[in-house]
Structure 1
């Protein structure tokens, strides 16, 4: 347990890392329209704009800095145990669309999906996931509610994946040894990886042949999982929800493109080739005129 001074330092560090350093642009996806189409077990990737987000971008070489499991609305859950657990943990309404996530400063929590309506997001849907296994994944994630965010794991991951760091990448790393605190701390992608591995669902498995030539799949260390792994996984489909969907063939011709007013629009620029040809003709004409004035050179 942290003392009072340690907690204060941790809270200040978390606030500094979570501070957004860029103004929010208009999101590329319509998350309000996406929410009713999502199902429990979908993974939501977020392009963050905070200092910690910039660090994760450098670590993973990916724009996706955060990940969360879509839980859905409490009122849609037929499983009474999950519904009761959600009501105990969520102070809002039963018709709020919920995410299960782990974030620095808060740990493993439930959040409304509207929290990310101004962010660029990507939806990753696990292929052929059964409803029963989706319930197990959500239940596994809910069992981690209240766990602290593992800042040490994040920086060890950065040390491992950034080759320019001078420190030995495996030396005293929390990623390659068992820690008692490991079961009470997590980060966003590890929380999700543990949940999917609990039902043997693959994310980025290591595939090799055994001595008989048969394919075998090994689970990577969940502590090494990053949000980009769900985007790159061949076992997750990517769902996109643009603000203006293309619902019928050729409908893109009717998109509300911004057009210039014909009366105020500047004349179109001449093609480069025609301008070069005109310049060449003018130069040739000038040379001919100069030759006529001076006349040919004669010798006596």
Structure 2
């Protein structure tokens, strides 16, 4: 099988993949966030290098949530003001993400203004390390999406026997192995691995004596990372915008506190 045939086959697969991506990324009707969105607080809280987890409302989010047993089906990196405003005007893109069928793109934060989101912040990074993580993502803008990922995801839209939990992490590693392609969480994982920051490393404990103990951290392959791993990681703090500006429960007004005939505002 010659290279010309392989190139033609890849083009056909890419075209078919893009067509399927358009179907899989259609919004599911009736989606509502389970908590009220506070977009202003989200904007004030994010700092460059933060990972923003999103509860997707597309059809494909169903498969991601099933495989990862998580609320979070998508991840994006907040990059601050490093990207220019669009020449035609409009909002500056402050997120870099890898989208199904699109690849690595920059998008405005308002895209997720009405979604359930979670901020995961790597603890202990200095300004230079944050900049390196941001630059890693910025330099990969235009990276293609791994189309093989789409065909594997399709399996989970058909009746199938339940997949044991212990197999699901391996099954999410759909990537073709092509280093010029990626999926959403794998590229962000690579960005943090580029500065040798742990997410969920495999730990090997070696004991040299009764008084000596050493832990050896092994870097997982980036294709094994899912959006929820940033939430589960002991090295990423969950930052809640509602609490960052101060919270006093005494200021809340409850329905049973309101005078008769008056609606509570809390």
- Which residue pairs with 1:60 in the alignment? 68
- Which residue pairs with 1:12 in the alignment? 19
- Give the 3 Å change call, closer, same or farther, for CA 234–174 of structure 1 in structure 2: closer
- The normalised TM-score by structure 2 is 0.77
Deviates more, 1:202-211 or 1:192-201: 202-211
- Counterparts of 1:142-291 in structure 2, within 5 Å, are 142-153=138-149, 164=162, 179=177, 182-210=178-206, 212=208, 213-242=213-242, 247-248=247-248, 250-252=250-252, 254=253, 257=255, 262=260
In the alignment, the residues of structure 2 paired with residue 155 and residue 201 of structure 1 have an alpha-carbon distance, to the nearest angstrom, of 31
Alignment partner of 2:49: what SS?
Answer: coil
- Which residue pairs with 1:31 in the alignment? 39
In the alignment, the residues of structure 2 paired with residue 218 and residue 73 of structure 1 have an alpha-carbon distance, to the nearest angstrom, of 33
- Alpha-carbon shift at residue 151 of structure 1 (Å): 3.6
Query: Are the equivalent residues in 2 in contact too, given 1:153–1:223 (CA < 8 A)?
Result: no
In the alignment, the residues of structure 2 paired with residue 184 and residue 241 of structure 1 have an alpha-carbon distance, to the nearest angstrom, of 35
- Give the 3 Å change call, closer, same or farther, for CA 204–71 of structure 1 in structure 2: same
Alignment partner of 1:114: what SS?
Answer: helix
In the alignment, the residues of structure 2 paired with residue 5 and residue 157 of structure 1 have an alpha-carbon distance, to the nearest angstrom, of 18
In the alignment, the residues of structure 2 paired with residue 201 and residue 220 of structure 1 have an alpha-carbon distance, to the nearest angstrom, of 12
Query: Are the equivalent residues in 1 in contact too, given 2:54–2:73 (CA < 8 A)?
Result: yes
- Give the 3 Å change call, closer, same or farther, for CA 176–36 of structure 1 in structure 2: closer
Q: 1:47 aligns with which of 48, 52, 55?
A: 55
- Which residue pairs with 2:28 in the alignment? 21
In the alignment, the residues of structure 1 paired with residue 12 and residue 249 of structure 2 have an alpha-carbon distance, to the nearest angstrom, of 62
- Give the 3 Å change call, closer, same or farther, for CA 174–35 of structure 1 in structure 2: closer
User: Which is greater in Rg?
Assistant: 1
- Which residue pairs with 1:127 in the alignment? 123
Q: Write out per-residue CA displacement over residues 143-165 of structure 1, whole angstroms, 9 at most, x where no aligned residue.
A: 21111111424666898xx9845
- Which residue pairs with 1:108 in the alignment? 104
- Alpha-carbon shift at residue 216 of structure 1 (Å): 1.1
Alignment partner of 2:125: what SS?
Answer: coil
- Give the 3 Å change call, closer, same or farther, for CA 24–209 of structure 1 in structure 2: same
- Give the 3 Å change call, closer, same or farther, for CA 250–174 of structure 1 in structure 2: closer
- Give the 3 Å change call, closer, same or farther, for CA 157–133 of structure 1 in structure 2: farther
In the alignment, the residues of structure 1 paired with residue 15 and residue 176 of structure 2 have an alpha-carbon distance, to the nearest angstrom, of 28
Query: Are the equivalent residues in 2 in contact too, given 1:156–1:175 (CA < 8 A)?
Result: no
Alignment partner of 2:76: what SS?
Answer: strand
Gap regions ≥5 residues in structure 2: 1-6, 262-266
When the two structures are aligned, how many residues end up with a matched partner?
242
**RMSD (Å) for aligned C-alpha atoms:** 3.6
